[in-house]
Amino acid sequence: MAVVSLKDLTKIYDRGHAPAADKVSLEIGDGEFMVLLGPSGCGKTTTLRMVAGLESITAGELSIDGAVMNAIPAKDRDIAMVFQSYALYPHMSVKNNLAFGLRRRSVSRSEIERRVVSVAETLELTPFLQRKPHALSGGQRQRVALGRAIVRDPKVFLFDEPLSNLDAALRVSTRSEIASLHRRLGATMIYVTHDQVEAMTLGTRICIMNGGRVMQVGSPLDVYHQPVNTFVAGFLGNPPMNLLPATVTDAPGGCTLAIGETRLEVPGTRMPAHSPGADLTFGIRPENVRLGEAPGAGFATLAGTVTQIEALGAETIITAGLPNVAAPLTARVAGDGGPGVGDRVGFAVDLGAAHVFGPDGRAVTQS
């Protein structure tokens, strides 16, 4: 059992500078796969390194299974980590890389041998046990790095962008390997990535970070469908959510928004009434925007001029400029047909899937 608890965890590298991690609070349950997701410099790796014991904690409290770990050195936390660069010892064979951590922990030779052989078999590394890391492919190196963590049988696994050095195909297969590893071991895992596909497919829960702070924590679909602010809305999803500046009109009900020259009546379930003139942000995911006029109630039409077409085969991403609106509108439509660049077309927006954000960027949508 391993419950990892972060309470207001803060890291300040240089006095006078902004904290790299700012009061990060998070409870990671036993056997949970928590993904820390965010752009470069958001503090996710710093947070992970504080959990690992590789960075000192400026303020806050880290505990594992109720025991405070702030002053406990990395080696005594019973944590294993897989690094972005694999961090394999280049002068040692695969076998010695796997056994290196166990040797320090006074594990008997026969037990080390048994565990190394077992892990090598699981990860299909047996033919490479005598090879040095430089004689392995990227995928094999990544498996050795995984094996080195597994062989220690730790309470908690930490992953620091382990797939970012792999090519696209290998990334997919290694991703599913990590997922099956989590299912098999049932261990608590904390995984850092800036790749939202990894986060969505691997995480039991996702913690989205920005500027050293936690923006939102929740299951992947919850975070996707109910973003708490414009950052999360704009970060998750590819293409990201359309975020269009909107103003509340003086129409009765307080739920009618003016976006450029168009007026949209947002259902009360998606937006509480606001006083006229309030500046808000209207959010809609590209998959909730269709080509053509609104098919009926619950939809609104936004007309614009197509500026970019990205035909991906199974779907097409259409970007259009709306008159008097600073942000473009992106639609994801099935198939590869559709309008050409420069065409003026209508887009049907599903208002039932709309998100509305206040002037401070926080969601006002009622879920």
DSSP reduced 3-state for 105: coil
Nearer to another protein by Cβ, of 13 and 263: the residue is: 13
Among 85, 180, 366, 367, binds another protein (CB under 8 A): 85
Backbone dihedral angles phi then psi of residue 16, each to the nearest 5 degrees: 90, -15
Taking the CA of residue 260 as centre, how many other CA atoms within 13 Å lie in the half-sphere pointing to its CB? 16
CB of 197 to another protein, least distance (A): 24
User: Per CB under 8 A, which region of 72-80, 121-129, 201-209, 244-252 contacts another protein?
Assistant: 72-80
Among 87, 179, 185, 309, binds another protein (CB under 8 A): 87
Q: End-to-end CA distance of the chain: give it in Å, rounded.
A: 34
Residues 142-171 that bind another protein (CB under 8 A): 148, 152
Taking the CA of residue 153 as centre, how many other CA atoms within 13 Å lie in the half-sphere pointing to its CB? 10
Q: How many CB atoms lie within 10 A of CB 174?
A: 19
**What is the C-alpha to C-alpha distance for residues 24 and 358, in angstroms, rounded to an integer?**
24
Among 18, 68, 75, 279, binds another protein (CB under 8 A): 75
Among 59, 74, 172, 278, binds another protein (CB under 8 A): 74
Nearer to another protein by Cβ, of 89 and 307: the residue is: 89
**Contact call for residue 105 and another protein (CB under 8 A):** yes
Helices (H), the chain: 44-52, 94-104, 109-122, 138-150, 168-185, 196-202, 220-225, 230-235
**Beta-strand relationship, 256-259 and 262-265:** antiparallel
Among 7, 72, 83, 225, binds another protein (CB under 8 A): 83
Among 91, 184, 263, 344, binds another protein (CB under 8 A): 91
Interface residues with another protein (CB under 8 A) are 49, 52-54, 73-75, 79-81, 83-85, 87, 89-91, 100-101, 104-105, 148, 152
